[in-house]
Chains A and B, each alone.
Chain A
Amino acid sequence: MKPSHVVALGGAGAVGFALLLMLLTHGAGFPLLAPSGSVGISERDLMVRTVYLMLIVVIPVIILAIFIAWHYREGNTKAAYTPNWEHSKMEEFIWWSIPFEIVLVLSAVTWSGTHELDPMKALVSTQPPLTVQVVALPWKWLFIYPEQGVASVNELALPVNRPVEFRITADAPMNSFWIPALGGQMYAMTGMTTMLHLMAPTAGNFTGRSANYSGAEFAQMSFTARAMDQSDFDAWVAQAKQAEALSSGTYSSLRVPSDAGPVRYYGSVDMTFADILDLYMPMRMDMTMPMGSSMMHHP
């Protein structure tokens, strides 16, 4: 096959493949590219900005590579040929400085972006944040609303336009709490709390799931995040209030590894987030030695 045929074939194949992919993803959601949450939008913007910055170098390099690869092929005897040319201070200085400069710019973007989008940082809003405590269980999600005194499994209700402060732990192997349409993820680990701030500016249902493999039925660990108006949220809380209590007994059965199961609500919370953290308090069961000054540790 002639090189020109290869190029033509490759080009046609690539275009056809791209068309096929467009056809197959038609109508599908791209929560990372078109997110709904304010944090997700900022993260998407940062992603796009980074890509553009890189393309400033990458596109010329690709063009250069194609040109060199084509022009200096063995068959092209008209091209210049300098078999012993091996060094040029100026060129090498340029090679080092081009990526250096672009990385310098990217570093500045990274530094400010990382601080601006620190998951621990509260979001700017006129409304006070709503606290939701998230517990990753095998293989389901428990959401506790300490202010409202209710809890739910596999369904997360959020008032629109109000920042939400998630406090995340696990009573299971490590998971990662992720609602792609709202913003980035955060690990859920036993005995400790991680924090994540998100906000949904518009009403809608978003899929959330665990992003970190946590055992056999991990694939079932998804939930629906429902962003709703304040009045709908109040109604949701009121409806949840009707349900049974999250006692230590109900919690014990929840933490048994099982399928995700249905959405569940709890009208009051006896088994609190702190109680769940305390399950992993590092205390010896068998105390043969007197207690020292060891109470300093609390995760």
Chain B
Amino acid sequence: MFGILTSAAFIHGPIETGGQLVVVLGGVSVLLLLTFTKRWKWLFREWLMSLDAKKIGIMYLVLAGLMLVRGGIDALMMRGQQAIAVGAGSGYLSPDHFAQVFSAHGVIMIFFVAMTFMFGLINCILPLQIGARDVAFPLMNSISFWLTATGAILLNLSLVVGEFAATGWLAYPPLSELAYSPGVGVDYYIWALQIAGIGTLLAAVNFIVTIVKERAPGMTLMRMPIFVWTVLASMLLVLFAFPILTGTLAMLSLDRAIGMHFFTTTLGGNAMMYVNLIWAWGHPEVYILILPAFGIFSELVPVFSQKRLFGYTSMVVATMVITILSFGVWVHHFFTMGAGANVNAFFGIATMAIAIPTGVKVFNWLFTMFRGRIRYTTPMLWFMGFLFTFILGGMTGVLMSVPPVDFQLHNSLFLVAHFHNMVIGGVLFGYFAGLAYWFPKIFGFGLHEALGKLAFWLWIVGFAVAFIPLYILGLMGMTRRLDFVDAASGYHPLLVVALVGACIIALAVSVQFFHFLVSLRERKHRKDSSGDYWGGRTLEWSTSSPAPLYNFAHIPHVHGRDAFWRMKEKGESGREGPYEDIMLPKNSAIGLFIAGFAFLFGFGMVWHMWWMLPVSLLGIFVTILVRSFATETEYVVPAAVVARTEAHHHPV
């Protein structure tokens, strides 16, 4: 009945029990709050069952925010341990717990913060930017979100029941094999990622079809905003990379669950194959994340430079070149595995080649600003922060793409500093810029600028104080993932500095949350009544803020790039009557059901409750079957309602 789940799975040491209590009490207090405020019905009807991409996007953003807190606490715990642990057995975390923390930190930050944040922004903005009423498959969109959320829930459940992987975020075998990791931690890892990964894959299918098929009339490919291009590139990468992850994790789970030998040390298993496969996914994954960030910058730099984007065609070509090259560089993650000089040199040079289109992008942004009128708003500050940190990260990246140099820097804290440089300075700053830029569009009111700028400066300072010491420690020969250092190594003082940096970042995140709250309280006088908060150039700014359910009263007709800019120049608003009826998808609980069954499946796999597997699969099949008979899946927004909504948002 309960597989290998026993009461022992709930019993932990004192620090783990703290984590357990936080999760349980947090969950219970949310449930109580909902019950006392009688918000359950509202929550389900308006949000959880919504098929509106804008609402799904907001749910993605909320999930990313929650996970940022969780992953951030992990980061502080790690920095704390390394700052106090001098000599074996010191510090407040056991070696195994420390390993769980750094593994969870990586998994959460990549899959449940970065990916989730990205899909949040895409959902909120992409349909608006291409002049669409919603995505191609609204129900599948809801399923994608809920599968992602299920992955996150499963991962965090490991805090309460059992343990998490103590293997690092990519779970290299043979360490992640049953022989060396007999607990359920790696299984939580596998199934959290498998379920979330399927959600991601479905989302990619959805957005590819949306971009290819749902663009407003007149929006040819070469008239698409660059953000749309980069999302298309990113989703194509998901499409070709995520199935490799699915296959690889499936093989690992077959090794673990039924004793196969893909990556074991015995009977011919080959762990090096795992390393190759996981990076064949993992490297494109980096570009899956960074390309939309590049797209965001390409949107906001023209707006805040009050000038057209320089070199549109170059931007598109550069994006596509990066997309293709990103599949040819995975070996640079393991130059030290004993491949020959020809192989290493080839992959090193391929890696450097990516610097070419990336450099072109930097030049194009700079020349968009050149002879512009630059307004240093919060989004633009994030761009400037990105520019300078990214140049450092790019340099250290090219440095490590030289194989003999990498022999020395690989697995050191220099490497750790480098990829945080790219993922924080590149990806996260990009998404923060996007959130600050599109916040008025998504929520209908602007953000407190001064607090936003304060958060930015704290982030920049925190980033420098946290990661420059790591670069230096790498040059001192300190490897990653050490739960203690020796006093004689001389590492300790810099680790204390890095902890201070992590605390400054924590302060920056707190200021960000505070600034959302302050802005929310002052939302009345921060209201974006024009719909065009910044003086935008693209279609999302042509509708009201927040966009109505149906996005556009009339599907816009596009006559060139910067479609909304052209409309404004001609004095068109695209909102005048007469209006017609609009059909929209009805809300549906199907996504919740499928995710619920997927959760049961994952939980059953983790704890070997085999009976749950057929039950949950049957549940999914029946859910889909029932849905396939549904006929009334759409409803009509009558023209009169459209007219009233438009009049309300834009009183003449």
Contact = CB atoms under 8 A, between A and B. Distances in A.
Interface stretch (A141-149, A205-213, A263-271): A205-213
A297 B88 CA distance: 41
B399 A297 contact: no
B336 interface: yes
Nearest to A281: B266
B352 A43 contact: no
Interface in A69-120: 69, 72-74, 79-88, 91-92, 95-96, 98-100, 103, 106-107, 109-111, 113-120
B482 A95 contact: no
Contact of A207 (B391, B465, B477): B477
Interface in B352-370: 352-353, 355-356, 358-360, 362-364, 366-367, 369-370
A189 interface: yes
Contact of A73 (B312, B314, B374, B476): B374
B375 A74 contact: yes
B352 to A, nearest CB: 5
Given A173-B180, A213-B99, A65 B490 contact: no
A33 interface: yes
Contacts of A74: 306, 373-376
Contacts of B475: 30, 32-33
Nearest to A23: B493
A163 interface: no
A42 to B, nearest CB: 7
A129 interface: no
Contacts of A44: 408
Contact of A103 (B175, B355, B391): B355
A128 B482 CA distance: 37
Contact of B373 (A72, A194, A213, A283): A72
Interface in B133-176: 166-168, 172-175
A21 B99 contact: no
Contacts of A110: 345, 348-349, 352, 401-403
B348 A32 contact: no
Interface string B523-562: 0000000000000000000000000000000000000000
Contacts of B574: none
A25 interface: yes
Interface size class of B (residues with CB under 8 A): 35 or more
Q: Identify whether the interface residues of B are mostly helix, strand, loop, or mixed.
A: helix
B588 interface: no
B266 A280 contact: yes
A97 to B, nearest CB: 9
B172 A174 contact: yes
Interface in B393-438: 395, 398-399, 401-412, 414
A91 B364 CA distance: 9
Nearest to B97: A216
B464 interface: yes
B388 A65 contact: yes
A64 interface: yes
Q: Identify whether the interface residues of A are mostly helix, strand, loop, or mixed.
A: mixed
A190 B497 CA distance: 38
Given A43-B405, A85-B307, A219 B483 contact: yes
Contacts of B373: 72-74, 79, 81, 83
Contacts of B99: 213, 215-216
Interface centre among B172, B307, B408 (most CB of A within 10 A): B408
Interface in B488-503: 489-491, 493-494, 497
A247 interface: no
Nearest to B460: A10
A25 B471 CA distance: 13
Nearest to A77: B373
B27 to A, nearest CB: 30
Contact of B388 (A62, A79, A209): A62
Nearest to B411: A211
B481 A185 contact: no
Interface stretch (B13-21, B267-275, B630-638): B267-275
Nearest to B480: A213
Contact of A43 (B407, B474, B493): B407
B407 A65 contact: no
Nearest to B490: A28
A185 B410 contact: yes
A209 B356 CA distance: 36
B265 interface: yes
A212 to B, nearest CB: 6
Interface stretch (A45-53, A151-159, A229-237, A238-246): A45-53
B484 interface: yes
A96 B180 contact: no
A44 to B, nearest CB: 8
Interface centre among A13, A28, A259 (most CB of B within 10 A): A28
Given A62-B391, A110-B403, A184-B336, A174 B174 contact: yes
A68 B375 contact: no
Nearest to B345: A114
Interface in A197-221: 207, 209-220
A32 B411 CA distance: 13
B489 A21 contact: no
A187 B336 contact: yes
B494 A25 contact: yes
Given A176-B411, A184-B408, A82 B481 contact: no
Contacts of B306: 74, 83
A254 interface: no
Contacts of A120: 338, 340-341
A181 interface: yes
Interface centre among B269, B271, B353, B402 (most CB of A within 10 A): B402
Nearest to A20: B497
A115 B344 CA distance: 9
Contact of A81 (B312, B353, B371, B411): B371
A11 interface: no
Interface centre among B338, B366, B404, B479 (most CB of A within 10 A): B404
A290 interface: no
Contact of A115 (B88, B341, B372, B484): B341
A61 B358 CA distance: 13
Given A72-B305, A74-B373, A95-B359, A114 B403 contact: yes
B344 A282 contact: no
A95 B266 contact: no
Interface centre among A31, A44, A47 (most CB of B within 10 A): A47
Nearest to A33: B475
A225 interface: no
Contacts of B167: 213
A13 B334 CA distance: 37
Contact of B371 (A25, A85, A191, A218): A85
A96 B395 contact: no
A120 B469 CA distance: 33
Given A80-B371, A213-B481, 16 more contacts: A25-B472, A30-B476, A44-B408, A54-B399, A72-B370, A85-B307, A92-B311, A103-B349, A173-B174, A176-B410, A189-B337, A211-B412, A214-B175, A215-B99, A216-B95, A219-B88
25 contacts: A17-B464, A21-B497, A24-B494, A25-B494, A31-B476, A72-B373, A79-B371, A80-B371, A83-B308, A86-B310, A87-B310, A91-B363, A114-B404, A119-B407, A121-B341, A176-B410, A178-B411, A184-B404, A184-B407, A184-B408, A213-B168, A218-B483, A219-B483, A282-B266, A284-B267
Q: Nearest 8 A-B pairs (CB), nearest first?
A: A184-B407, A28-B490, A180-B477, A99-B359, A173-B175, A117-B404, A211-B411, A86-B308
